[in-house]
Structure 1
Amino acid sequence: MSEPLLLSLIEAQARAGLQAEAPVVAQRLREQGVDALCIQQARGNLDWLETPHARGWLAGDPVDAQRLRDALARGFVDADALILAKMRAPYALPLLSWGEEPPGAAAAVNSARRLDLYAIVDTAQRLRQVLAAGARTVQLRIKTPATPDAAWHALLREEVRQAIEDSTRAGAELFVNDHWQIAQELGAYGVHLGQEDLLGLGDEGRERLRASGMALGISSHSLWELARARTLSPRYIACGPVWPTTTKDMPWVPQGLDNLAWWSRAAGVPVTAIGGILAPREVEATASTGTDGVCIVRGLGDDPTQTLPAFASALRAGRDHPLDPVPQWPHPTLPRG
């Protein structure tokens, strides 16, 4: 696989045979057989990134060609390699737009509390159990069936309503997975969305989501997803999977503790660990990386009142023994093929 092309806008236009803005020119070059490219300083100090995995406006320092070669030699796919090539310091993450609107300045995220143990459940009844066991960061994750009917929609609405009521009474932060419009309508504190869902909203939908005032959690698995997530000033960014997980079928190489530690310093917002965290020893290891929260799904077991106290002790132990040293480079999460 060849290196991404680094071109000025004038060079890209000449090569494409097209006088147009960078996104249009880049797409034409992809149609002509170019695998990946970066049009530098195409709009002020913004570069246009065009790769098989990600496209958008990339802010930050100019691409360092040698650092790009180093990243490619380490096995990073083009999108992640170009992110790394913009970084003059180990954790100085650039911003990547979601579409053809340039990325806005990411606002600072202020929170009075850490996420700590983050319990993810699939029913309001289960949520009451983890609240009673002491969890104060919770997610209601109800997956949409292939053919949802009116009865399912009514049940979903009631589950979200009950979860909001119980979480508010307990003083917990509740994030409703996926169903952000129902969550907004019913007055939820926050929502959690994956990157494909956020891309599908488009610029207008993402702006409506931001304007809702709900706290936002965003999944991330790669550097380009991390750089994109930051622009929405989320309450947190999830880094996963830390270890292999059977909860979801995903193509990603596990992040491990090294990437989790790197994410926690580069994200610019709180990071929560997710994926394969089943036992106290894994909570302790993830907490040592500096992550703000640790997600527990299957590890909650049948009786969270029995499991959560041990997880809480492990969280404190991990924070008392921080990981050292923190890596200067992450490792690739997709194979370069």
Structure 2
Amino acid sequence: MNTSLSIELLGARALGLPAADIPAHAAGLRARGGATVCVLDVPQPSGGSLHWLEAGHARGWVRLDAAAPGDLAERVRAVFPVATRRGFVAADAALLALHEAHGGELPRLSWGDAPRFEPAGPVAGAKPMGLYALVDSAARLAQVIEAGVHSVQVRIKTPRDADAAWQRGLHEELARCVALAREAGVELIVNDHQALAAELGAPGVHLGQEDLLALGDEGRAALLARGLTLGISSHSVWELCRARALAPRYIACGPVWPTTTKDMPWVPQGLDNLAWWCGRAGAPVVAIGGILEAPQVRAAAAAGADGVCIVRGLGEVPARVVPALREAFEAGRAEAAAATVPAWPHPSLPAGEGA
């Protein structure tokens, strides 16, 4: 038996450890035995359920607002092997088991060893993202604004040999982007470069999970304290649960279709996983990845996406294609109320990508 796909369930009260000592204890158990470790039902003064998860791809506090059922361990022990047989890695299987055991509530997963969770709820005054253009320059931003796009992400990648001159150029380019978006009343999200985005007055930033993990608890708290809205990438159940802990402006689900924009290990989510994300995230979901044509935009919106991110599909002259893409989004949004949320997502890592 592959021990990495077995689970060891421990009762917090039986352990008799302070909550602060549980992460190290669980890590030690996993290091010795290889199984996924889940410490269940850690007492909380505020009520609700808090568990600790120690798995191959993810670790952290798992928070659910619903009280833990009396037979929680039995329920998790029953669902976990079902999820692993479906092809889910251990972190996803454990979170899905807790999701099922708590009556369909999707957990939130902490980013670090402290049980820090932002209050969940919609961002005040937020409108649907709609057609969400991804651009790499102020000139391209001006094109998509003229074409009628109201939500834009500017992504300017930092080269390995970036020097002071490149940084000055980045500052000038992003300053132009912020000014253009503000004048046009467009919601601008800056990919990475969060300190510069805050300095220039951009309303929001988009960060990948590795970047957010690297910030640490203090860095994430400082980011939120700057008042920026936050978009977060997600590709798996554990990343979705972790994104939920920060109460973001939106959670990106991708890649929905195969994409050549980024080299990544993830299996395409497809419309079924996108619909599951939209039904479970508790936050607006943006569809991203391989979206090139109006029928895809419509299908993604019909699955429940609050926004549909498009890059190459904008073409050389966005004004020629954006009206049809926006029309497709609105048509799909009108169909979203009838969308069916699958009972299960499908695994987003191919077989053999660890536990």
TM-score bin (small chain) = over 0.9
Given residue 153 of structure 2, which amino acid in structure 1 is its aligned partner? Q
> What residue number does 1:97 align with?
110
Amino acid aligned to 2:344: W
Kept in 2, the 8 Å contact 1:96–1:103? The answer is no
Query: Contact 1:242/1:274 (CA < 8 Å) preserved in 2?
Result: yes
Cα shift readout 1:235-291 (whole Å, capped 9, x = no counterpart): 100000001100001111111001101101111110000000001111111111011
**Structure 1 residue aligned with 2:78:** 66
239-248 or 87-96, which moves further after superposition?
A: 87-96
Task: Please name the residue that 1:258 is paired with.
Answer: 272
- Aligned residue number for residue 246 of structure 1: 260
Once the two structures are TM-superposed, the CA of residue 49 in structure 1 deviates from its matched residue by 0.6
* SS of alignment partner, residue 176 of structure 2: helix
Tell whether the 8 Å contact from 1:195 to 1:225 is kept in structure 2 after alignment. Answer: yes
The residue aligned with 1:325 is 340
SS of aligned partner of 1:318: helix
1:47 equivalent in structure 2: 51
Corresponding residue SS for 1:48:
strand
Structure-to-structure mapping, 1:177-192, within 5 angstroms: 177-192=191-206
Q: Residue 53 of structure 1: SS of its match in structure 2? A: coil
2:339 is aligned with 1:335: no
Choose from 222, 234, 239 the match for 2:236.
222
Match of residue 145 from structure 1: 159
Question: Partners in 1 of 2:341 and 2:109 — Cα distance?
Answer: 24
Contact 2:304–2:339 (Cα < 8 Å) also in 1: no
Give distance in 2, aligned partners of 1:289 and 1:300.
21
Give the deviation of 1:336 after TM superposition: 4.5
Q: Deviations over 1:85-112 (max 9, x none)?
A: 1124775211110001103253311444
* 3-state SS in 2 of match to 1:151: helix
Amino acid at match of 1:101: A
Instruction: Tell me if the contact between 2:95 and 2:107 (Cα under 8 Å) persists in the aligned partners.
Output: yes
Aligned to 1:118: 132
User: 1:66-87 CA deviation, whole Å, 9 max, x = no partner?
Assistant: 1222212211111111111112
Report how far residue 335 of structure 1 moved.
Answer: 3.0
Q: Once the two structures are superposed, what CA deviation does each residue of 1:176-208 show, in whole Å capped at 9, x if it has no partner? A: 000000000111110000000000000000000
Task: Say how many residue pairs are matched.
Answer: 333
More moved, 314-323 vs 125-134: 314-323
- Quote the residue 2:89 is aligned against: 77
Of 292, 299, 302, the match for 2:313: 299
2:8 corresponds to which residue? 5
Distance 1:20 1:204 in 2: 17
Residues 285 and 267 of structure 1, relative CA distance in 2, 3 Å threshold: same
Distance 1:105 1:155, change over 3 A: closer
Contact 1:139/1:177 (CA < 8 Å) preserved in 2?
Answer: yes
Query: What secondary structure is seen at the aligned counterpart in 2 of 1:192?
Result: strand
Matched residue type, 2:50: L
Structure 2 gaps of 5+ residues are none
CA gap 1:221/1:20 in 2 versus in 1, 3 angstroms: closer
> TM-score, normalized by length of structure 2?
0.89
Q: Deviations over 1:141-188 (max 9, x none)?
A: 000101211111011101110000000011011000000000001111
Q: 1:254 to 1:263 in 2, by over 3 A?
A: same
Separation of aligned partners in 1, 2:161 and 2:26: 39
User: CA–CA distance in 2 between the matches of 1:161 and 1:324?
Assistant: 40
**2-structure distance, mates of 1:161, 1:195:** 25
TM-superposed CA distance for 1:40, in Å, is 1.5
Output one character per residue of 1:5-54: Cα deviation in whole Å (capped at 9) or x when no partner. 1123477799xxxx981111122123214232112124543211111100
**Alignment-mate amino acid for residue 240 of structure 2:** L
Q: Is the 8 A contact 1:273 1:291 kept in 2?
A: yes
**8 Å contact kept, 2:279–2:341:** no
Q: Give the superposition deviation at 1:113.
A: 1.4
Aligned in 2, Cα 1:212/1:20: closer, same or farther, shift over 3 Å? Answer: closer
Q: TM-score, normalised by structure 1?
A: 0.94
For structure 1, which segment, 270-279 or 321-330, has the greater mean C-alpha deviation from structure 2 after superposition?
321-330
Helix, strand or coil at the partner of 1:326: coil
